[in-house]
Amino acid sequence: MARIPAVEHSFAAHPLASGPGPAATEAGAVDADVVGAVLRTARAVLAERVAEASETDASFCGDLAGRVADFTLDGGKRMRPRLLWWAMRACGAADAGTTAAALRLGVALELIQSCALIHDDVMDRSRLRRGRPAVHIDLADRAGLAPDSEVGSAFGASAAVLAGDLALVWADDTVAETPLPTPVRRRVRAIWRSMRTEMVAGQYLDLHGQATGGSSAARAIRTACLKSALYSVERPLAIGAALADADERTTAALRSAGRGAGIAFQLRDDLLGVFGDPARTGKPSGDDIREGKPTYLLAVARERAEAEDDQGALAVLGRAVGNADVTEAELADVREVFEATGARAHVERKAERLRDHAVRRLGEGVDLDAHGGRQLLGLLHTVSGGRSGHDELRGHDSPAADRVLTTAEGGHVR
C-alpha cells in the first residue's frame, strides 16, 4: 500500500483544523485572544504553503513541508507575535488593514523562529525540543532510520537543514505577500533584513565560541544580543511600531526596552540551561555545559576564577565544559563553581537590572496607548523573567502600570 503523505494525517488533523478561517481583522477581537488569532492566521498561511508543496512532490510535502507546518503550529508561547501586536496597539494602530498585516507578520516571525530552532538543534545535536524529539531526530525516525546510526544521523541532520531553510523561505514569502502602504513596507522590510542577518551573526558567534573554547563576558553579551535579544524582542517591537507608523522617539524607546528585556531573557535562559528543571524546560539540564556554550554565565565564572587564581574551579570547568560525556557529579561540581564564584548571583542581578531598564524605557516621555502599553509592559516583564502583567498589573486602573506609563525616570544598564 502506498504510504499516505504525513501532511494528510498530521497537519490536516491538527486540533485547529476545524476552527475558523483567517482571524478577524477587528483589533478589539484580536486583543482578547492574540495567540488564537495568530494561530488561525498561521493555519490559513500554512495551508497555502503545504498545498503548493503537494503540487511540487508528494513525498517532499508529506515528509518535510508538513513537518515544518506541524512544528510551527505546535508548542511555543507565540511571544514574538504578541510583542509585535502589543507594540502596534501601544502605538495606537487599530484599523483592519494594519490588524491583518500584523497577524500575517506574526506568522512570519513564528516561521523564522521555526527555522532558528530546527537549525539550532542540529548544530547543538539536541535530541529534544519542547519535550519531544527534535526535528532531525523525528525525520530520521520517519524515514525508518535509527537516528544514532551513521546513515540516520547524516540524513536527519541534512533533512532538518532543508526543513529550516523551507521555514525561512515561507517566512520571507509571507512578509513579501503582506499588503502594506509603501512607506510602512519599506520600514518593515528594512527591519526584517536586519533581523535575519543579526540572527545568523549571533548563531555564528555562538558556534565560534564553542569551537574556540569560550569567549569574554563582553563577547558573550554581544552574542546574546544578536542571537536572542534583537530577533526575539527588539525587532518584533520595531515591526509593531513600524506598522503603526510610530515616530522615531517612540520607536527608539520600544527598541531600547526590547533590547534590555531580550538580553535579560537570554541570561535567564542560560541559568535555566544549568540550573533548570528538565520537566519544566523540556530539555536536559546541563546541555550548555556539554556543548561548551560560551554563555555569559560561564564567562563570568571563568573570569572570576582567573582573577582569584582559583585553580580548582578552573580545573572543574576545564574538565566539564565541552565534554559530551560529562557525568552528573561533574555537572554538580560546575554548578558549585557558578555558585562559589558568585557568577550565578551576578547574572541574576544583571538580568534584574536589564528588566528594570526595559520597564523604565517604556515610561521615558513616550506617549503610549494606556491599554496597549499595560499589555506590553506585562509581556516585557514575562520575557525578562519578572512577574507577568497579570500578576502585577491587575485591571485598567493599576497604579503600578500608570506609574510606568507616565514616569520620566531615566536610567542606564551597567
Kindly give, in sequence order, each residue whose CB lies less than 8 Å from that of residue 9, ignoring residues fewer than 6 positions away: none
- Specify whether the CB–CB gap between 358 and 261 falls below 8 A: yes
144 is written with which cell numbers? 525508518
Residues 313-371: tens digit of each pLDDT: 999 999 999 999 999 999 999 999 999 999 999 999 999 999 999 988 887 757 899 99
Q: Which helix (H) or strand (E) holds 250?
A: helix 248-275
- Residue 113 pLDDT > 90, yes or no? yes
- Residue 389 pLDDT > 90, yes or no? no
Q: Decide yes or no: CATH 1.10.600.10 for domain 6-290+344-406.
A: yes
DSSP string, 306-339: HHTT-HHHHHHHHHHTT-TT--HHHHHHHHHHHH
Residues 265-311: tens digit of each pLDDT: 999 999 999 998 877 766 678 988 998 999 999 999 999 999 999 99
Distances (CA, A) of 252 to 235, 248, 364, 389: 11, 6, 11, 22
Domain segments of the chain as ranges: 6-290+344-406
The pLDDT value recorded for residue 20 is 39
- Residue 92 pLDDT > 50, yes or no? yes
- Residue 238 pLDDT > 70, yes or no? yes
Q: Which of 332, 339, 356, 333 is nearest to 411 (CA)?
A: 356
- The residue count for the chain: 414
Q: Which of 413, 304, 315, 319 is nearest to 360 (CA)?
A: 413
- Residue 397 pLDDT > 50, yes or no? no
